Structure 1
Amino acid sequence: MPKNKHAAIRYKIIDKMLTSTSKPYPSKEDILDKLRNDLKDSISERTLQEDLSAMRFDEGLGFNAPIRYSRKYGGYYYEDSKYSIAKLPISSNDREALDMAALILKQYDSLPIFSEFSNVVTKLQTVLDGVVSDSIEARRQMIQFEESPNYKGLDLIQPLLRAVEQQYRIDFTYQGFLSAEKRHEDLEPLLLKEWRQMWYVIGRYNNGSSTKSYPFALDRITNLEVKESEGFTFPYDFNARDHYAHAYGIYRMDGKPERVKLRIFSKTIRGILRNNPFHASQKITKEGEDYMDIELSVFPTPDLEGDILRFCPEIQVLSPKTLSDNIAKRIQDGLSRMSNNQ
């Protein structure tokens, strides 16, 4: 299977050169020059050899390309002159995978950017056999995805994504949940992030040496303006994966992540957390007959506190003490409010 995002493009370029009647028998150097010029990348000779081998033998790709080398002409060609990867038929497995992709994308129809992808898949299905597969509707009765309500702000995803891609500054009005006043924001957008069916734009202010980024909920944004006349340089020190590697939820705190140690008592919850960890950093450190200890390397955020509370009273915070105290206070506050109803 293709090992990177450019592999499929390279296969198409190679295929086009091998089917060319105006310049038949392209040499290794000819193909490398074409790949490097078209992709603006330093494609190695080894990569080309791997691509040719994959086109010939990779069962996952299924091309089975009859590529041969002509010593007489010093170049590559297709033994079957009518062959092209563009003419390959779609197998039943390919069609089933396409139907499944369409089914998954349909649940995001309310998001303009994803509905466009869904439309592309539908067009492909229609071109392939003239009709949209009936199996999609049938499977919708067999598979039920968690439904995403049509949250306010989803229409902002597309212009915000364009702003991130093109490195345009954005201007908007924002009102946080805890604020009675609206405020004006001028931001360099770096990332769009979803957390539990809510979308956020992560960005930085242009205030000199500060490298701190802030999340803004899309449903709290109004009067968005993508300032195409005001670009910015994407910060070299920002990497989305690294930035959120130790975050729990949408907020990333300053400083270093903490070692959060938890003890789980319920056998059922132990099973749940083995298969569905709190966080990617989770590891089991100790197991007894009636408990399991786990450790996370995260920032102790309110989101983490909320998830720990979900499993009370079958969970204990061993450390840090500040997290344990926060959990205890929230439980006490809840009990106090409940007692007021009696």
Structure 2
Amino acid sequence: MPQNKNAMARYKAIDERLRRKDYPSLQSLVDYVSQKLDKRVSVRTIQKDLCDMRYSEELNFHAPIGYDYFKRGYYYTELDYSIDRLPVTEYELEGLEIAINILEHFKEIPLIKQFDEAIHQIANAVKISRERLSKAQGMLHIDLPAKYAGSKWIEPIADAIIKRYWLRIEHKSYQRDDSLEYRLAPYHIREYQHRFYVVGASRRKDQQEQKVRIFGLDRIQHIWPTNIPFDIPEDFEPNRYFANIIGISNPEKDPERIELWFDAQQSKYIINQPIHATQEILEQNDAGCRISLNLVINHELLMLLLSYGAHVKVLEPPHLALQIKEEARKLLGLYA
């Protein structure tokens, strides 16, 4: 890539001028680029830029720039050429096809749907035909819900995150019959198990206390934008905030060291696909494996451990083992 942003700005200006197809002279290119950049550019710089656009492997433009001695000006020998239509390899085309195919799975989300035409314009820019995209649509399947409840709120929340202004939201939790109004400074949108959540500084309408809260978008009833600005704290980083949890709840609790034993059948999957980035293998033999995790103990972790059934045993901490035991007792009672 070019060594600085001014170089790319010059390339774009040269490309724009050549696409007028009126055979600009070298001096005309110098004047045009200088005007675009609002500063004087030398003849030698533009000469080097023309050479780089033609031959630089790093840029990979391979621009078909010719010089007409009769008209005394430069032109593109390929009439429809532009550096915005960059050549790509077959491997890169396949990668883009897969990326577009993945986005197709999320097209019912309004924020994605509105960019459908833009996505296809990008595909056209790199010469991927709609027929080729159509053939690629079946190559990958992602198991998704029929609809994302609350997805209509993604766009106004994302807009507030970008513009940094507070929102008023009406939220109704599953634990209450009535809804409450909150002031929300949204920091981050997160997806977990086909549900979207927003994380941000919040306070209830009738309270002054402010703290970081997480709201499920499917429980938001209304959103009203405001023009009140906010700043995201410099120490808030989403991946770090959720670094030691499974799921979405209680990220501010202290993580605990957890030891689990998986039997031989399940251990193969656990070793090949770790439960979490903090997973360490402490012991492994023909009978199974013992692992450790450093996680917040929350509802999502409990549900995950219960999903393994009799293939897992909690070794540490004792209070987590008791929680699993109690849930197992309740489950057994349903079939007594």
Normalised-by-shorter TM-score class:
0.7 to 0.9
SS of residue in 1 equivalent to 2:115:
helix
SS of the residue corresponding to residue 114 of structure 2 reads: helix
Q: CA deviation at 1:132?
A: 4.0
Post-superposition shift, 1:63? 4.2
Q: Deviations over 1:264-315 (max 9, x none)?
A: 1133x21211222111111212112212111111101110111111112010
Give the drift of 1:23.
5.9
| TM-aligned CA deviation for residue 244 of structure 1 | 0.7
**Residue 253 to residue 105, structure 1, CA distance change in 2 (3 Å):** closer
Contact 1:17/1:24 (8 A) holds in 2: no
Query: 2:258 maps to what in 1?
Result: 260
Amino acid corresponding to residue 12 of structure 1 in structure 2 = M
SS of 1:213's equivalent in the other structure is strand
Residue 73 of structure 1 corresponds to which residue in structure 2?
A: none
8 Å Cα contact 1:56-1:65 kept in structure 2? no
Q: Which residue of 2 aligns with 1:71?
A: none
- Aligned partners of 1:189 and 1:201 also within 8 Å: yes
- Does the aligned pair in 1 maintain the 2:151–2:196 contact within 8 Å? yes
Q: Which amino acid in 1 is paired with 2:293? A: L
- Counterpart contact for 1:261–1:293, Cα < 8 Å: yes
Partner of 2:151: 154
TM-score of the two chains, using structure 2 as the length reference: 0.75
Q: Which amino acid aligns with 1:338?
A: Y
Do 1:103 and 1:140's aligned partners in 2 also have CA atoms closer than 8 Å?
yes
What is the aligned-residue identity percentage? 22
The secondary structure found in structure 2 opposite 1:277 is coil
Show the counterpart of 1:42.
none
| SS at structure 1 position matched to 2:332 | helix
Say whether residues 1:186 and 2:179 are aligned partners.
no
Structure 2, gaps ≥5 residues long: 18-25, 38-51, 65-74
Partners of 2:201 and 2:111 lie apart in 1 by 24
- Structure 1 residues 141 and 7: alpha-carbon distance in aligned structure 2, compared to 1, 3 A threshold: farther
Superposition deviation, residue 62 in structure 1: 4.2
State the match for 1:247 in structure 2.
245
Match of 1:15 among 6, 11, 34: 11
Q: Which amino acid aligns with 1:254?
A: E
Instruction: Write out per-residue CA displacement over residues 54-89 of structure 1, whole angstroms, 9 at most, x where no aligned residue.
Output: x9445xx744689xxxxxxxxxxxxx9979744544
Find the aligned partners of 1:235 and 1:165 in 2 and give their Cα distance.
Answer: 14
* Partner-residue secondary structure (3-state), 1:313: helix
Unaligned runs of 5+ in 1: 35-51, 67-79
**Residues 312, 151 of structure 1: alpha-carbon distance in 2 compared, 3 angstrom cutoff:** same
2:308 matches 1:305: no
Specify the alignment match of 1:102 in structure 2: 100
Kindly indicate whether the alpha-carbon contact (under 8 Å) linking 1:188 and 1:206 is maintained by their aligned counterparts in 2: no
1:125 equivalent in structure 2: 123
Is 1:338 matched up with 2:335?
Answer: yes
Alpha-carbon distance between aligned partners in 2 of 1:246 and 1:216, rounded to the nearest angstrom: 19
Aligned residue for 1:169? Answer: 166
In structure 2, C-alpha distance between the alignment counterparts of 1:195 and 1:10, rounded to whole Å:
41
- Structure with max Cα Rg: 2
Q: Does structure 2 conserve the Cα–Cα contact (< 8 Å) formed by 1:99 and 1:133?
A: no
On the 8 A contact 2:101/2:140 being kept in 1, the answer is: no
In the alignment, the residues of structure 2 paired with residue 253 and residue 85 of structure 1 have an alpha-carbon distance, to the nearest angstrom, of 46
CA distance in 2, matches of 1:192, 1:210: 22
Question: Where does residue 268 of structure 2 map in the other structure?
Answer: 271
Q: Does 1:201 align with 2:189?
A: no
Distance 1:189 1:88, change over 3 A: closer
TM-superposed deviation, 1:253? 4.0
Aligned to 1:41: none
Inter-partner Cα distance in structure 2 for 1:301 and 1:320: 13
Residue 259 of structure 1, CA deviation:
1.0
Deviation of the 1:101 alpha carbon: 2.4
Aligned to 2:225: 226
Pairwise CA RMSD: 3.6
Alignment of structure 1 residues 10-49 onto 2, 5 Å: 12-13=8-9, 15-16=11-12, 21=26, 22=28, 24=30
- TM-score of the two chains, using structure 1 as the length reference: 0.74
Give the 3-state SS of the residue equivalent to 1:252 in structure 2: coil
Could you tell me which amino acid in structure 2 is paired with residue 323 of structure 1? L
Q: For the structure 1 residues 10 and 309, does the alpha-carbon distance in structure 2 shift closer, same or farther, using more than 3 Å as the test?
A: farther
CA distance in 2, matches of 1:194, 1:166: 21
Which residue is equivalent to 2:72? none
CA gap of 1:14–1:301, structure 2 versus 1, over 3 A, is: farther
Distance 1:142 1:260 in 2: 39
Q: How many correspondences in the alignment?
A: 296
CA distance in 2, matches of 1:290, 1:209: 56
Q: Secondary structure at the match of 1:330?
A: helix
Whole-Å Cα distance in 1 between the matches of residues 238 and 102 of structure 2?
Answer: 25
Q: Which of 129, 137, 146 pairs up with 1:140?
A: 137
- The AA in structure 2 aligned to 1:294 is I
